Amino acid sequence: MLDSSADDVSITDESEKLSSKGKAAAMLSKTLKECVVIGRRARFSWRRMRAGVLVFKESREMGGGQRVFAIGKKLGEGGYSTIWLVHEWQPDGSERQYAVKRVLVNRSDPEQAAAVEHEVTVMRSLPPHPNLVELIGTCNRPQVGGAGGASSSQEEMYLLLELCRGGSLAELLIARAAEEAPLASSFVARTFRDMAMPLVLMHAQPRPLAHRDVKPENYILSDADGRWRLCDFGSTTADTFTYASGTSAHAVSTEEERIHKTSTPQYRAPEMCDLRRGETVGIAADVWALGVSLYKLLFLRDLFGAAGEERLGILNFDPAKKLSPDDCARLRGRRAAPDEGLGVLYDLLRACLTPSASARPPASSLLQMLTSSGALSGPRSPPGDAAGSEHAHLAGRLILSELQPLSLIGGATQPITLPQKWMALQRRSERSRVSGEICFALE
């Protein structure tokens, strides 16, 4: 809920007398003086957002403290959401960086509003795990519109998330495919483990959760520990669907529409492509998608052809014919070096891509199979093995691009560290004038 105090109102009233730049600086000065650092995993209520600063106030039961974040560069955006890099400074002058996801929620569209709330609920329900993106806190901000400052039907939801700088697994695969450089089996094995681990956790919940959109695009690399983290839980569900003789056409149509909206054609399991085959659509579909992802890790190409042709390929897929040892060797390409670790990965691939959902092994069995094979026993980044050290290479390349100086103010031509920037802004606001735009405000 919005938490406004009398002090806030007086500041707002006074700032109306200032120019837009002076108003922003006055608000920034006020929030800096009030800033206190609080613990993680808090539930926040929206406080204010002005001039590239997000101020969250902790709920009363958590103590009512504040966290202040400087908004940095835009990291990405989708249909209803935008992700920003934000900076929080500490009393010792150091800073921490996070990602903030801003989602526009249309309360007049119950389906869209429920989907947003559902994703947050799923993330909060899962215990911390090294292969899951961490949700640190959430808040809601009603949008004001119309006469008299009435709230509109739109609302902004903010998700404060762990920042993973390494980019997505999909980006890595695109780069390697362009170079025609297959990934070493040691790297593929560890990546497969990172992809399977969060699925084991989700599938083991009291009501098993299916992610429903497992694919390389939804795994991002943490520079903190070099692990891939699963993200985007908008499609996650504990619901299953099984066609039977009494199932209505409406029920089939409703499930088909949900599958169309919440999954990616290339990674859909056979039971999702033909509901009337009578197999349960549930957690086994994640295992199939894991196999399609493993295929791309091994061969740097899609398994089921061009867009629009996937369904027929999925329904007619025969692993015995498409994934024979000779086929796999050919798909790796002539540039691939001899690699003794590929055998178990090919076995995992064929197991994941079992056409029958009921015969497909669970993710936990696949992990056990990988662990017992010894494929994970080697060093994390073998010396001199470029493919094996891909985690460090990718994270390092993208970290450098993220750590450019923040947008400067007042026409400054040299980098300003975060604490210096705030002191400069505060001094300017105390003089009641700002000579430059604050360039990192939200668009």
Report the SS3 class of residue 421.
helix
Residues in a beta bridge with 97: 87
Nearest C-alpha neighbor of 160 from the set 3, 80, 319, 45: 45
Cα-Cα-Cα-Cα dihedral of 308, 309, 314, 315, to 10°?
100
> For 349-362, what is each residue's pLDDT tens digit?
999 999 999 999 99
Q: How many CB atoms lie within 10 A of CB 13?
A: 9
- What are the sequence ranges of the domains in the chain? 6-163+406-430, 169-398
CB 399 within 8 A of CB 223: yes
Q: How far apart are CA 27 and CA 199, in angstroms?
A: 45
Which pLDDT does position 65 carry in this prediction?
67
- Fold (topology level) of 169-398: Transferase(Phosphotransferase); domain 1 (1.10.510)
Per-residue pLDDT of the chain (443 residues; tens, 9 = 90+): 223 333 332 223 333 444 544 554 454 444 444 433 332 333 333 333 333 677 776 666 656 667 778 888 888 887 778 898 988 877 777 788 999 988 888 877 888 888 888 988 999 999 999 999 999 888 877 765 555 555 567 888 888 899 998 889 999 999 999 988 899 999 999 999 999 999 999 999 999 999 999 999 999 999 888 999 999 998 999 999 999 989 999 999 999 999 999 999 999 999 999 999 999 999 999 999 999 999 999 999 999 987 888 999 999 999 988 999 888 988 887 666 667 789 999 999 999 999 999 999 999 999 999 999 888 865 444 323 333 334 333 333 332 222 222 222 233 333 333 334 444 433 333 332 222 222 222 32
Options 213, 274, 302, 347, the catalytic residue:
213
Which pLDDT does position 137 carry in this prediction?
84
- Between the alpha carbon of residue 26 and those of residues 18, 47, 89, 303, 443, the distances in Å are 9, 16, 19, 57, 20
Q: How many CB atoms lie within 10 A of CB 328?
A: 19
Tally DSSP H helices, then E strands, for the chain.
Answer: 15, 9
CB 41 within 8 A of CB 136: yes
Q: How far apart are CA 109 and CA 106, in angstroms?
A: 5
> For 254-297, what is each residue's pLDDT tens digit?
999 999 999 999 999 999 999 999 999 999 999 999 999 999 99
Which value, in Å, is the radius of gyration of the alpha carbons in the chain? 25
CB 115 within 8 A of CB 153: no
Query: What are phi and psi for residue 354, nearest 5 degrees?
Result: -65, 120
Q: How far apart are CA 308 and CA 47, in angstroms?
A: 46
Q: How many CB atoms lie within 10 A of CB 107?
A: 14
101 is in an annotated binding site: yes
Given CATH 3.30.200.20, say whether it is the number of domain 6-163+406-430: yes
Query: What are phi and psi for residue 80, nearest 5 degrees?
Result: -120, 5
Nearest C-alpha neighbor of 252 from the set 275, 234, 235: 275
Which pLDDT does position 61 carry in this prediction?
60
Q: How far apart are CA 83 and CA 103, in angstroms?
A: 9
Q: Give the list of residues 6+ apart from residue 437 with CB closer than 8 angstroms, or none.
A: 21, 409
Q: How far apart are CA 197 and CA 218, in angstroms?
A: 14
Which pLDDT does position 284 carry in this prediction?
98
Which pLDDT does position 436 carry in this prediction?
25
Q: How far apart are CA 319 and CA 392, in angstroms?
A: 34
Give residue 186's identity as a one-letter amino acid code: S
Which pLDDT does position 329 carry in this prediction?
87
213 is catalytic: yes
Q: Give the list of residues 6+ apart from residue 178 with CB closer than 8 angstroms, or none.
A: none
DSSP 238: S
Q: Give the list of residues 6+ apart from residue 440 with CB closer than 8 angstroms, or none.
A: 52, 70, 71, 72, 73, 406, 407
CB 345 within 8 A of CB 294: yes
